[in-house]
Structure 1
Amino acid sequence: MKSISGEFYFYSIFLLFIIFSGTAATEFDFGTLTLSSLKLLGDAHLSNGSVKLTRDLGVPDSGAGKVLYSKPIKFRQPDVQYPASFSTFFSFSIANLNPSSIGGGLAFVISPDDEYVGDGGAWLGITDAKGTQHGVVAVEFDTLMDVEFKDINGNHVGLDLDSLVSTRVVDLDTIGVDLKSGDLVNSWVDYSGPTRIIKVYVSYSNLKPKDPIISSTFDLNEYILNDFMFVGFSGSTQGSTEIHSIEWWSFTSTFDENSNFTPPPPSSTLMNPSADSVVDPPPPSIPPENCHNQLCKDGPGAVVGVVTASAFFLIFCGLAIFWVYNKKFKRKTKSETLTSDVIKTPKEFSYKELKFATRGFDSNRIIGHGAFGTVYKGVLASTGDIVAVKRCSHTGQGKEEFWSELSIIGTLRHRNLVRLQGWCHEKGEILLVYDLMTNGSLDKALFESRMTLPWPYRQKILLGVASALAYLHQECENQVIHRDIKSSNIMLDEGFNARLGDFGLARQVEHDKSPDATIAAGTMGYLAPEYLLTGRASEKTDVFSYGAVVLEVASGRRPIEKEVGVSGNLVEWVWSLHREGRLMVAVDPRLGKEFDEAEMRKVLLVGLACSNPDPLARPTMRGVVQMLIGEAEVPIVPRTKPTLSFSTSHLLMSLQDSVSDLNEMMITLSTSSSEGSFTGRGGAGGGVGGGSSSALDLV
């Protein structure tokens, strides 16, 4: 009886295994993927939550890129006569920054390997001119008409079966879709293994069209080389500046004979990303400057009629020549003086050059907003480099931030600081030019990206910021106090390395010198309590801000957020969890179990140590670096949050000094107001009488 039961049990399990293996589905989308789930090849890279298959290369350079789901998908099943059924939905955009250049295109691909990237141009990154890659099935969205591949035009969709000569091709003009418009295009590709029918749908709308644009029959088994294949996208350019972006992707496959699925499109919020994450549509061309306008016609004077006294005429001309020469000389002297002040700054750009690079500061090129200005994406005509151009506000406060940022960051060199390429001060405009950070800011990666930022990336980012602050605090000739450490000022380069930026509120002080008092400047949630009380920023106030960033990165919550406890303050919430012995509750739930618990606990304790209300108890940033790399132990963090305490005499002295310093600032302001300049020690952070509350960026 036992043997029969055991045999029955064995066969039951075996039967369940067969059934499960025959119907198990692979399913994923951008909402569930992590960065480690994607494999980026060639020119492909991540940028603000979307995947860019190609780069903004200068004409006539060509390129190709590919992104694949990192795990192979099973397309053949033993004892199953038909291949897997699959259905995929994706949203993409193709924008050409130089409309006069020709394109390339992109394709959804099923590939036999996850390492190969083909040629650019008409080969779409699928294969090269020698036809090296075989066994690829693709649905192409082609923006380049190539006679060799029998293309019908430069705006078509085609079905490619182990060849770039499409077996089926349809003109997208017939349904009113323009691939090169820069608009978001949606596509559905459904393949039924049992019926061997593929259907392709294309639309601007989120709603799947009733009729497919392509419906064709083919046996997938005849074209794929392996039982397991890789799925993803490939794109290319041919001497153009086309940018191919995958904004959303979902995929499902199964061997279930009765499957009839279509992955739903994402919610409207995901289908309509923010302006920061959508590829810019082609900006309008800039008309050439007209040298015959009224300004060009203005001269030193116009002589009307006959001048009877030649002496007066000669005197007038002489005075005009002297005036023009003197004005030119003064401008040159001012420029030379300015250059000498920031002699270490890399380059002075011309206004015309930066205006052209940003397409006349087109609103479609806005990629962010700094503390006192707007940031634009720009392409330098002379080098083809892609840069970020910060256009500072025209207010007196904005100008002070410009000079402060330029004079400080122009002398700094560190791998974890945003690199300043140059500056411009012409036509009343003040501009700063930085390296463009392809992955945007840390806050966008944490809170706006569709993919969860993995824990190893977060650790690397925190270590990079700590290293940058250690450099500013202890390794520079003069100590630099940043005063605005927050996740939106931490930029991420192509490799997700942290680059600290926005030095508009920064101050330079001599080492071991007591800081001057100012109006507290920065962002609520990151500001140290003693800074709010006394207005004196120091390296310890930066350490507190860094601690808030650490807790933000570990928890995936903003420093001020309604969901975080009653007070809404992240630092307070994590301290309360630590007091209750539940510190790990603070961990970002989106990370699942994909982190080392001991490392996570250490990072959280570092964040609390930096967030200690007592500034003297906070570690130095050099000490933080040593803790994060394991060269030093994290100090014992008390379970109960310490209280901020001052002796009465200390508090009165601090407040008295602060009032005294602010009075001096008020006097300086009043004496300099007639000259229209601001020279108070408070700088832009202490704009007393000029809207000082604007220095507090309330979140």
Structure 2
Amino acid sequence: MASIALSLPTMMKLLAFIVVFFVYVESIDQQKPDNGVIINVTKRFSFPDFQGPRTAHDLKLLGSSVVDETGRVRIPDTTQKDVDLKHLAGRAVYAYPIRVFDPVSRTPASFETTFAFQLETLESNSSSGDENGGDGGGSGFTFMFAPDEFTVGRPGPWLGMLNDACDEEYKAVGIEFDTRENVEFGDPNDNHVGINLGSIVSTITINASEFGVNLNDGEIHRVWVEYSGESRFLDIRLGSDRLGYPSKPMFSDRLDISDFLKEYMFVGFSASTGNFAQIHNVFSWNFTSTSQASLRVPSPETCDSKLITGDGDDGGGAHINRLNGFFIFMTVVLLVALALVSLYYNRKHRSGNKSNEAVMLPAVKERPRPPNKPRRFTIAEISSATRCFDELHKVASDERGDTYRGTLLNGCHVAVTKFSTSYLRSHGVYWRRVGKEIKAMSKLRHPNLVAIRGWCFDHQETMVVYDYVPNGTFNEWLYGIGVLPWSRRLRVVRDAAQALSYLHSQKHAHKNVTTSSVFIDVSFRAMLGDFGFVMSGTESNQFEAAVSQPADVFSFGVLVLEVVAGRKRYKSESDLDGSDSDLDRDLLEWAWIMHEMKEKEKVVDGKMCSVLNMDQAVHVMDIGLLCTLQESKGRPSMAEVVEYVSFEKEVPELPASRPMALFPYTSTTGLCSSSYMCPSFK
């Protein structure tokens, strides 16, 4: 009997398998063609205005957007003082996903929506330049279906709809109301409506002037949109809110949007400003959608087969069903009997040997942790969050390892950096040292630092879990499509300087300062992440801080020059024009040469054109050059750099000629390479 009790878990697993097997056999025997019943799933909501607590619960504001005291949505946010309203983007979306596509029948949902909006142009625009040389107006806004509730698109002509971090899987559908003519996007004029399917380039454009509508006249307009999913038919009507429902549609034709929809999406508005500051107001919004779904119910044939009749061929099937039921019943009875026998002998065994009770210790209960406190994750949690490190979830890769995006069980979006074991070993670094530094850095909190949510040291793996920043890296924005205006570049430089200054004040260093380690959040604030963490494992923390902090300043100087010039320090072979390969390869050396020749304006990115403040750009370039000086020759601390980039303190005069040697140090690995001397000691 003792042997039976000891092997009870195995017996229970075996019996459970038998039960599942018979259930499976019975299900196979009874399997019939699935005749699903098509039902309609309806979602309806209404915002007569955007006041009250319900709005805060049902409406999600992203980027530069706000609900003002009068109950209207405003993009950009005009409540903040001393904020430049140019080159901003924001979104206001319904806070819950809506089913807009049936993947079984591949049928889009039918929907109806109406909303009132007003485009308010500021008078200060008349004295400003324009992307295309026009006067007045802003960039316009979009009614859209978005695949997530945390991405904000690029400002300017992108209307806050898409950005450089959006890949081909980012499906979006929008109807834009555009008051700028962007020739590169195929706009017909500065007063048009466009239908965008997965792209900022409109698939269909309509000249609003032909329908007596001027989007930029300051009047409140109302839009009615109706779409039939079954017939793939779209009807758009636009007119003055005071005149009511227009008799003539602006667009009415077949349009299949199914290829650009996911099953569940978020619906709402996105808008942006460019060289001009325009306020996009939404006063009210009603929305109704109806999607098809297959409801699986027993078919009449299945129900008839269950009836017991006196004749027919169903007798054999009924006999098999009764036999399967008998086996299941006997299995359950046997399982209960074995459990009772095991309980009896285990209790008798414990009463005969009291000394063994000391071995049965109660499980240790872990103390509850605050929800945002960094903690250690198991490999199972990380694997589940990243879908077993699926290649589709990989967002970055370098010699240190790979970075994946993921979602924890509580719904939090994270980025997981998985260090390469061979990389750590090749540099003589052990996970204990890395782990100690990760835990220390996870305690730091600053608005311009990407928070570390936790770590994982399991199965010889070393991983760091960060908060996910959805708008991608600054590298994608600086070198991606379009031209990043100077005001945005200057803000990134200031934010990165603030983050580094805070790190250094806490006796830490970043050790990986590049454009790829600067991230852009939904408010277009720069956040420093992707920390280097490791150096040589034999050096002390004190030595590491002494080396790494000045090295951070040097790397920041290179980053500043890249921001000003709009190019990387070292050009790739494909980018070389063959004129002078040495100068083309090294931006730092070229910048010093231009400083000697008093032609620093040539370094500034000429593509910025009218969205450039040349005096500020040259001033910031001087700060970058100052950061690349030898430490003993005037390289500043990051606290001083913050004062310089904020224009609170005069930048010291640079030497007339460049240093004798330009440091080959680069922080792409977070190490101070043994083949070169660290710039702190050069």
Give the TM-score of the pair, scaled to structure 1. Answer: 0.48
- Structure number with the bigger relative contact order (C-alpha 8 A, sep ≥ 6) is 2
Give the TM-score of the pair, scaled to structure 2. Answer: 0.49
